[in-house]
Amino acid sequence: MSPVTFIVVGAGQRGNVYGDFCLRNPLAASVVAVCETNSKRKRNFVDKHSISQDNVFDDYKLIPAGLAQAAVVSTLDDLHVDMVVRLASLGYSILCEKPMATTLADCERMRKAVKDNNVLFACGHVLRYSPYTRALKKVLDAGEIGDIVNIAHIEPVGWYHFAHSFVRGNWRNEAQTSFSLMTKCCHDIDLLLHYMTPNKATRVSSFGGLYHFKKSQKPKAAGTATKCLECPLKDSCAYSATQLYIPNARRLNRGWPVSVVCEGAEVDAQTPKDLEDLVMDKLANGPYGNCVYEIEDNDVCDQQVVNVEFEGGKTATMTMIAFTEAVCQRSTRIHGTKGEIIGDMSKFTVFNFETREKRQVDPATFDLDKDGTSGHGGGDSGLMNAFVRALQTGDQSKVGCDVDDVFNSHALVFAAEEARRKGTVVSL
């Protein structure tokens, strides 16, 4: 069977994650075209995948039909809708990075385009596809803990990860992208729905806000400094850009988050000193060197709790919190009528009320697709494996969900944010 072919639209961090899957699995998939506006990222991506110059684009509107079987849309969130609608109209099946879009109306436009053009669709809800999640879902579906009554789920974003992506970075401002529950935790909400299937969500409430990253919380000793490089606390502040980025540069670590700061230029750095000089320049002149307390357009929640009621009176909570040592190492407790599951995205325990027995489940013991180089606990690779199988067979069910499921998952996130803003309970 010939490899499935992809065009990648957006050759940034996530585009490279999906593209790298193809490099590791050349018999299953290959990238044959790319669309990217950043010249350095585009050059790096073209070189990595040996893409013909005829298949390199600056504007997605110039992409013709028939270059590949599917398109990976991995641009910034607000750009997804127009790209997906057009590419679907050209007959491309779509893998769209999460979130689907930044408004519910745009999500509906995307859903309609996928259905009208009868193309396959997958969304970057990668947590569904990790060996851990699939092993846990297998236990749930087998009824080992009886009926699920409640789920308590926590997403610990990590103090420096939140400062990088949601205070200094692309997702700091709701008007420019979307609210942090959507941009960070839409796949956590999706997990709740996944675990609770077939019970549907019926009501939602939510509380939270921007607690810490604002001028009123700035340490007095920092004075009037607006850049970390100028701050007297640059060597001691928990959120100092010099503490976050410079040590990586000195180790010649060109990966995340340095790759985001340098916007593709990091690959040209040949020595640790070269990379450190480049990062220092970016911190002095770009947003990633800004004091986290002085970023006026940062307005996204740094902590939020979501409460969901499901059919039959079942309940779930999801907590998103910036202030953690753990970085995206989710913890989940699932309470059933016959037992309880406690997990941490790596392994989980199952306790049986009737036998009083507890066992630990290691997903490595399951016959599941795994890829130790993949992010999100193997979920990135798991999603690509599922989507490739769908493309090979023409069978949407291989993805494990369809565009309606993805739309409904996003609708719950939008409803949760409406509940937070209005201070009410929203019925679904």
Q: At what angle are helices 131-141 and 379-393 packed, to 10 degrees?
A: 70
Question: Residue type at 272?
Answer: P
Class of domain 127-213+298-368+401-427: alpha beta
Tokens of 308: 């969901």
CA distance 6 to 228: 41
DSSP secondary structure string, 344-386? -SS-EEEEETTT--EEEE-GGGS-----TT-SGGGHHHHHHHH
3-state secondary structure of 321: strand
CA proximity to 248, closest of 228, 264, 266: 266
Cα 334–Cα 378–Cα 9 angle in degrees, nearest 5: 120
In 158-197, where does DSSP find H-type helix?
Answer: 159-162, 180-196
Contact 325/316 with Cβ under 8 angstroms?
no
**What integer pLDDT is reported at residue 371 of this predicted model?**
46
Beta strands in 43-192 (DSSP E): 56-57, 70-73, 93-96, 121-123, 148-156
Count of other CB atoms within 10 angstroms of residue 351: 17
Contacts of 185 (CB under 8 A, 6+ apart): 155, 304, 318, 320, 413
Contact 227/289 with Cβ under 8 angstroms?
yes
76, HSE (Cβ side, Cα atoms, 13 Å): 15
CA distance 412 to 407: 9
Burial label, 204 (beta-carbon count in 10 A; 0-12, 13-18, 19+): buried
Tokens of 67: 């270059």
CA distances from 342 to 145, 366, 378, 401 (A): 12, 18, 19, 25
3-state secondary structure of 311: helix
**b/e burial code for range 126-155 (CB count within 10 A of at least 16 → b):** bbbbbbbbbbbbebbeeebbeebbebebbb
**What integer pLDDT is reported at residue 264 of this predicted model?**
87
Asked whether the domain spanning 127-213+298-368+401-427 has the same topology as the one spanning 4-119, the reply is no
3-state secondary structure of 13: helix
Q: Which residues of the chain have pLDDT under 70?
A: 365-377
Count of other CB atoms within 10 angstroms of residue 309: 17
Helix (H) or strand (E) segment spanning residue 335? strand 331-336
**What integer pLDDT is reported at residue 373 of this predicted model?**
45
**What integer pLDDT is reported at residue 379 of this predicted model?**
87
Domain extent listing, the chain: 4-119, 127-213+298-368+401-427, 220-289
Cα 77–Cα 123–Cα 137 angle in degrees, nearest 5: 135
Which pairs with CB-CB distance under 8 Å and at least 24 residues apart come from 284-289? 284/227, 284/229, 286/261, 287/168, 287/169, 288/164, 288/168, 288/169, 288/241, 288/245, 288/257, 288/260, 288/261, 289/227, 289/228, 289/229, 289/241
CA distance 5 to 180: 33
Contact 100/107 with Cβ under 8 angstroms?
yes
We find that the CATH architecture of domain 4-119 is 3-Layer(aba) Sandwich (3.40)
Edge-to-edge, what's the strand order for the sheet holding 4-9? 56-57, 29-35, 4-9, 70-73, 93-96, 121-123
